[in-house]
A = this chain, B = another copy of it.
Amino acid sequence: MNIGEAAEASGLSAKMIRHYEAIDLLQPQRRGNNYRDFSAHDVAELSFIRHARDLAFPLEDVRRLLALWRDRGRASAEVRRIALDHVAALEEKAHSLQAMAGSLRHLARHCQGDGRPDCPILDQLEAGAEPGETLVAAATFPPLARTPLSGPSKESAG
């Protein structure tokens, strides 16, 4: 099966499949013309990768999960641990985002949003977080390592 069919079958782009091969997530055979030749097994692995990515597992986790999946005799404990670590990371990120959204929503609620120039949102951005007031976000941020949202990564948040 050529890469185009494999892409369609797995729901991944051909581009990504080549990338996953380049980083050694899978090793499809090559034919005489140097075209990749995907077996049904390769396609199953690609689907696996896609489902794992759908759950936002980083590729390094995907690599480990794939290895465990391939290992018939693996212990499910290891899989479970990876999954729960990822759950924790996802939830931490989600909470952090929600804290930011909450702070910002709070500010926006006190902003007239009319033609006048006074705006608590800008005031807050100018002044920074007041102690005991809004902006819980920064506090929950630091320990977050994976799933690098475009937000700040500042460890130095003091």
Contact = CB atoms under 8 A, between A and B. Distances in A.
Given A87-B105, A91-B101, A149-B147, A122 B53 contact: no
A51 B157 CA distance: 10
A141 to B, nearest CB: 8
Contacts of A31: none
A1 interface: no
Interface residues of A, number: 75
How many copies, total? 2
Contacts of A83: 104, 107-108, 111, 121
A117 interface: yes
Interface of A: 11, 13, 44, 47-48, 50-56, 58, 65, 68-69, 72-77, 79-81, 83-84, 86-87, 90-91, 93-95, 97-98, 100-101, 103-105, 107-108, 111-119, 121-122, 124-129, 135, 137-138, 141, 146-152, 154, 156-158
11 contacts: A50-B128, A53-B154, A55-B104, A55-B137, A56-B152, A76-B119, A79-B121, A83-B107, A94-B98, A147-B149, A148-B150
A73 B117 contact: yes
Most interface-central of A47, A75, A79, A127 (chain B CB within 10 A): A79
A142 to B, nearest CB: 11
A86 B104 contact: yes
Contacts of A86: 104
A27 to B, nearest CB: 19
